[in-house]
Amino acid sequence: MAGQKKERKGSAGCPFSKNDVIDLKIDDIGNEGEGIGHYDGYAVFVNNALPGDKIRALIMKVKKNYAFAKLLEIVNPSNLRVEPKCSISARCGGCNLQHMSYEGQLEYKENKVKNCLVRIGGYDEAYVNSIHEPIIGMTNPFNYRNKAQFPVQQTPDGQIAMGFYAGRTHRIIPTDNCNIQMDESNHIAKLVRMWMTEHNISAYDETSHTGLIRHVLTRIGKSTGQIMVCLVVTSKKVPHTDSLVDILLKETGMTCICLNINSEKTNRILGDKIIPLYGQPYIEDNIGDLCYRISPLSFYQVNPEQTVKLYNTALEYANLTGNEVVWDLYCGIGTISLFLAKKAKQVLGVEIVPEAINDAKVNAQLNGITNATFLTGAAETVAAQVAADELYKDIANPDVIVVDPPRKGCDSKLLETIVNVKPDKVVYVSCDPATLARDVKVLRENGYEMKKWRACDMFGMTGHVETCVLLCCTNS
């Protein structure tokens, strides 16, 4: 019976067991956007539930002090709840917040960053609030992604399924219309699926490691209209590619069609080898007044409109006068580096992906920028080498360091190097509030104080958030 307390089998005191149905009031939201309710002191995590919801839920898994449940019924909806635009949003692992108002999403993301800075970073909540600047929201939180990666599978009845994985699975939820992808990507995925069906092209099976097509990757130059289509395949011998090229060339803006070879038994999407089928092996796009060349393997922000706002915040925090040496670590294809180079004396960009560094050098040339140097290697390794090597004496003492690391945050050796070279400012651009807070705490313990922070919503309808933080050296 809903709401009835039952003792967990084998664990005295727990108010429920697996498969119990309970009534629950959701009072909080977790880091992944899941609703959190409390039932006799036990936290219950429920996907697709929101603070303020009164729900009926099925207990799926019971742990010592918490449980996971499945939403069965919304008895009384939260005032944050809206009707999702996408019919599969509750099942697909891509958009976990479409059922929340956009204003609610922005508040949730700001609070997520605040909570991490307090709980993990060790900052006083009042101080965090006092140096906070309002989150940068999106004008339109739909159809913003310039990059799509559609996994491909064969269904039991032999059909081609293309779409996105259900949350925490490798089971595809088929769709021809993802609301956060640009329309061109959705259309191209449909064309490729029809081509595969017509010519009996097999999809990759990750269990048997058979089949040909693993993923369909698209990239769109939002300002240029250029389109890239890259098929991730297990073999360079793909039949009927001439037919595919003919189909795709009917699309306005088609600039690059290629294969990416990934024959490994891995969850990694892309392999290392690119085989061109048509056109140049890259597209170009603009961020602000700068032009960037983007290859299939390069990292490039998926939301260029918000990227301009995020990078302008980083530039504002750096407050360059034209006399500074700046390091841009984890620089990718030089997106932030070139923004900085327009205002700095000299910029060093460091990135571990060789293809991205090649693009960064080309991008500097495309934009007539001559005061940027790009080096390939792990940020923690190259930064230490530059600081110690006489060869780099002109850029060995940075006034400002900008870091934009992956989700795992900065390597501890890199943080050590930052502390040793002692720049006046560190501008930290983060895609994970938890690792941001961890690294900010380390820098704080070594003579840096957080002076400003601002969140930026790059990924509407999801729980992800970007943050820009300014830290200043307090040691003379």
How confident is residue 7, by pLDDT bands cut at 50, 70 and 90? very low
Given a contact cutoff of 8 angstroms between Cβ atoms, the answer to whether 152 and 162 are in contact is yes
> For 439-464, how does the pLDDT look when each residue is reduced to its tens digit (9 = 90+)?
999 999 999 999 999 999 999 999 99
Cα separations in angstroms, 129 against 22, 124, 410: 37, 9, 24
Strands (E), 30-159: 35-39, 42-46, 54-62, 66-76, 132-136, 147-154
Given a contact cutoff of 8 angstroms between Cβ atoms, the answer to whether 118 and 139 are in contact is no
What type of residue is 213? I
Q: Sign of dihedral through CA atoms 96, 100, 106, 109?
A: negative
**In a 10 Å sphere around its CB, with 0-12 CB exposed, 13-18 middle and 19+ buried, how is residue 313 labelled?**
buried
Among 329, 295, 302, which Cα is nearest to 314's?
329
Tell me the sheet residues that pair with 81: 100
Pick 318 or 7 by higher pLDDT.
318
- Average pLDDT over all residues of the chain: 95
DSSP secondary structure letter of residue 390? G
pLDDT attached to residue 298: 85
Domains along the chain? 1-81 (2.40.50.140), 147-287 (2.40.50.1070), 303-473 (3.40.50.150)
pLDDT attached to residue 93: 80
Q: Which two tokens stand for residue 200?
A: 């009996």
How many CA within 13 A on the CB side of residue 306? Answer: 26
**Count of residues for the chain?**
476
> For 205-234, how does the pLDDT look when each residue is reduced to its tens digit (9 = 90+)?
999 999 999 999 999 999 999 999 999 999
pLDDT attached to residue 299: 84
pTM: 0.93
Q: Looking at the predicted structure, is the pLDDT value of residue 4 above 60?
A: no
pLDDT attached to residue 1: 42
Q: φ, ψ for residue 325 (rounded to 5)?
A: -95, 130
Where does residue 279 fall: left (phi above 0), alpha (psi -120 to 50 degrees), or beta otherwise? left
pLDDT attached to residue 94: 87
Q: Which two tokens stand for residue 476?
A: 């003379």
Interaxial angle between packed helices 412-421 and 433-444, expressed in degrees from 0 to 180 and rounded to the nearest 10: 40
Over residues 300-304, mean pLDDT: 93
Catalytic residues: 431
How confident is residue 8, by pLDDT bands cut at 50, 70 and 90? very low
Residue with tokens 């917040």: 97
> For 87-124, how does the pLDDT look when each residue is reduced to its tens digit (9 = 90+)?
999 888 889 999 999 999 999 999 999 999 999 999 99
**CA–CA gap between residue 389 and residue 377 (Å, rounded):** 15
Q: Looking at the predicted structure, is the pLDDT value of residue 70 above 70?
A: yes
Among 197, 428, 475, which Cα is nearest to 313's?
428
Q: Looking at the predicted structure, is the pLDDT value of residue 85 above 70?
A: yes
